[in-house]
Structure 1
Amino acid sequence: MLKGHQSWIFENKPSIISTATVVGPFEGQGPLAEDFDVIHGELYIGQDSWEKAERAIMEEAAQLALQHANLKEGQIQFYLAGDLMNQIISSTFTARTLTIPFIGLFGACSTSMESLALSAYIVNTNGANYVLTGTCSHNASVEKQFRYPTEYGSQKPPTAQFTVTGAGAAVLSLKGEGPFVTSATMGRIIDMGIKDPFNMGAAMAPAAVDTIEAHFRDLNIGPEYYDLIVTGDLSKVGYEIACDLFEKHNVPIHKTTYSDCGMLIYNYETQNVQSGASGCGCSAVVTYGHIINRIRRGELNRVLIVATGALLSPLSFQQGESIPCIAHAVSIESKK
């Protein structure tokens, strides 16, 4: 049901019946390692290119999510996914392997919640019995899509972010004991004129704030409704800008209940990640691993995940364009 201007309420409350997360070795050295299903020991993942490695972790996460749900590919009606590669090839080639009807999406790093929101909408309206959704990224393949190749060895400023090597997937159904997807707010494009691809956190922060404020306005609730509000992936720079904007707009979000996926996945003291993490895989593995586990353990009851995306490309950057940004919010709750 449409609520307000840009939000949906899911009356049937689709259940996240299974999740799966697969990450690389660097992510396995971070503070959330125990929340990941698979941690690979090397970046090639047994493949002969970074791009094939990214596809491999997406395929692995998708298959694991199906196993955890005790389902086969033929029982899934739709697979919704996207990534950061040209023509979202990690997702399309995974769909080729799965042979599940496929809906490809691109929202840059916001794709994790874009795909979850649309999957919930399909299930909520009885458009499918089971929907599989997921996103992925790989540091060595994605960095050269938006910045410079890892092999180039360029020095990064403190505002830069480190792309996560990881894939997250989930299966949704009207059956199941939760956690439940209860609402979603779809974002609009916000462009503040920032052109620096090494400062995506600053570019994306206004979009995150805009979507969160729209969510509160449409649903007539405040930050206190949630135990935790998590953006992704603003990291340190974008997070501080978002906090400043909330204060300026008189939105009472407190740092004790507001965090960011890009700040959670790595250890700033021991891992050189500049401002923090980014990539489609970042918010996916933090949400489908760490946050879902906390909900299942009873530590959290209501969580709002707000994935952000910087919608630039090498072509737009080379032509001097600014960075359009977007954010999509999904509410996940432990009870119906």
Structure 2
Amino acid sequence: MLIGHQSWKFENRPIIRGAATVVGPFEGQGPLANDFDIIHGDLMLGQDSWEKAEKTLLEEAAKLAVENAGLTKEQVNFFVGGDLMNQIISSSFAARTLAIPYLGVFGACSTSMESLAIAAMIVNSRSAKYVLASACSHNASVEKQFRYPTEYGSQKPPTAQYTVTGAGASIVSHEGKGLAVTSATIGRVIDMGLTDPFNMGAAMAPAAVDTIEAHFRDLQIEPGYYDLIVTGDLAKVGYEIACDLFEKHKVPIKQTEYFDCGMMIYDYEKQMVQAGASGCACSAVVTYGHLLKRMRKGELKRILVVATGALLSPISYQQSESIPCIAHAVSIENGGKE
């Protein structure tokens, strides 16, 4: 049901029945490697293009999530997913392979929680029994589309982020026991006038803070309600700006542990990732891999995942448009119903 101005509370507590993560070789060298289901040793995944490799990542994650949920893909009612490619071709072409009724969504790097929020809403309303939610990205395909092809070898500033190669998927169900999706806050588009595609963290931070503030206001809770709050891929630059904004707006974020997925997936000492990670797969693989495993171990009871996205395109950048940004928040809690 609608609660407050822009949030949903899922009174039927949809369950994350199964989840899966698939990543590339660089992600497999980071500190969260043990939390991923499949780590590929080849960026091409045996395909003849980066884009086909990205599609394959998603197909593998989706099929494994269905398997981990103890289902067949024929039992899944709907597939909600998206990515960063033009016309979300990675997800749409994967949907062709999966042959599951499909809703394609685009929220840039916020897509992981956008798809999960929509899946939970569908299940909560009893409009489906099982819904697949996903997001994916590939470093080489994203760099080619939004910045410079990897082969170009361009220098990057310290504010730049490294796009995650990977895919994360989950099966949301109205029955079962375990981790429940309890609420979601849908973000507003926030544009602070930034135009630099190599400084996405700074552009997205205000949107993340705006959505988190709306979540607390709508649900009438404080940060301490959660054991952990993570933003999607602000990385070092955006994370520091977000912390400053929380302080300025008098949001008591220090009541809980607050961190960013873009700072968790890579080793800053050993991997040259500038400010940190980004990409649709960033929050997807950190959430569906690392965070859900921590919850199942009992280390975390309640978390809020706030995926952030920069809604630019190559055309808007070439026309000197600023970068509109958005963030979507989803709360996940231990203790699903029978």
How far does residue 175 in structure 1 lie from its aligned partner after superposition? 1.0
Tell me the amino acid that sits aligned with residue 316 of structure 2.
Answer: S
1:124 is matched with which residue? 124
**Pair 1:235 & 2:254 matched:** no
Distance 2:302 2:255 in 1: 16
The answer for the alignment partner of 1:259 in structure 2 is 259
1:4-44 CA distance string (max 9 Å, x none) = 00000000000000000000000000000000000000100
- Counting only pairs closer than 5 Å after superposition, residues 294-309 of structure 1 correspond to structure 2 as 294-309=294-309
Q: Is 1:327 equivalent to 2:327 in the alignment?
A: yes
Deviations 1:29-72 (A, max 9, x none): 00000000000001001111111000001000000001111211
**Counterpart for residue 183 of structure 1:** 183
TM-score, scaled relative to structure 2: 0.99
Give the Cα separation in 2 of the matches to 1:176 and 1:37: 22
User: What SS class does the counterpart of residue 190 from structure 2 fall into?
Assistant: coil
Partner of 2:42: 42
Residues in 2 aligned to 1:32 and 1:265: alpha-carbon distance in whole angstroms: 6
CA contact (8 A) 2:75 2:130 kept: yes
Residue 248 of structure 1: aligned partner: 248
Which consecutive unaligned segments of at least 5 residues does structure 2 have?
none
What are the Cα deviations for residues 80-125 of structure 1, in whole angstroms up to 9, with x where unaligned? 0000011101000110001000000000000000000000000000
Unaligned runs of 5+ in 1: none
- Alpha-carbon distance, 1:254 to partner: 2.1
The alignment's C-alpha RMSD in Å is 0.8
Cα 1:255–1:5 change in 2 (3 A) is: closer
Answer yes or no: is the 8 Å Cα contact 2:83–2:137 preserved in 1.
yes
**Residue number in structure 1 paired with 2:10:** 10
Spell out the pairing of 1:22-101 with structure 2 (5 A cutoff): 22-101=22-101
Runs of 4+ that moved beyond 6 A: none
TM-score (norm 1): 0.99
Between 174-183 and 228-237, the greater mean CA deviation after superposition:
174-183
CA distance in 2, matches of 1:326, 1:143: 21
User: 1:110 maps to what in 2?
Assistant: 110
Give yes or no for contact 2:159–2:237 (8 Å, CA) kept in 1. Answer: yes
Indicate conservation of the 8 Å contact 2:109/2:233, yes or no: yes
CA distance change for structure 1 residues 262 and 255 in 2, over 3 Å: closer, same or farther? Answer: farther
Q: What SS does structure 2 have at the residue aligned with 1:66? A: helix
Give 1:255 shift: 8.8
Q: Give the fraction of aligned pairs with identical amino acids, expressed as a percent.
A: 74
1:146 and 2:154 correspond: no
Structure 1 residue 162: Cα displacement: 0.1
Matched residue, 1:285:
285
Match for 2:306: what amino acid?
V
Please report how far the alpha carbon of residue 256 of structure 1 lies from its aligned counterpart in structure 2 after TM superposition.
6.3
The equivalences for 1:193-204 within 5 A come to: 193-204=193-204
In 2: Cα distance, 1:217 partner to 1:254 partner? 17
Q: How far is 1:146 from its partner?
A: 1.5
- Give the secondary-structure state (helix, strand or coil) at the position aligned to 1:254: helix
The aligned amino acid for 1:163 is: T
Judged with a 3 Å threshold, the aligned counterparts in structure 2 of structure 1 residues 331 and 55 are, in CA distance, closer, same or farther, namely: same
Name the CA distance, whole Å, in 2 between partners of 1:185 and 1:178.
22
Distance 2:225 2:243 in 1: 18
Matching residue's letter, 1:208: A
**Aligned partner letter, 2:15:** S
**Count of paired positions:** 336
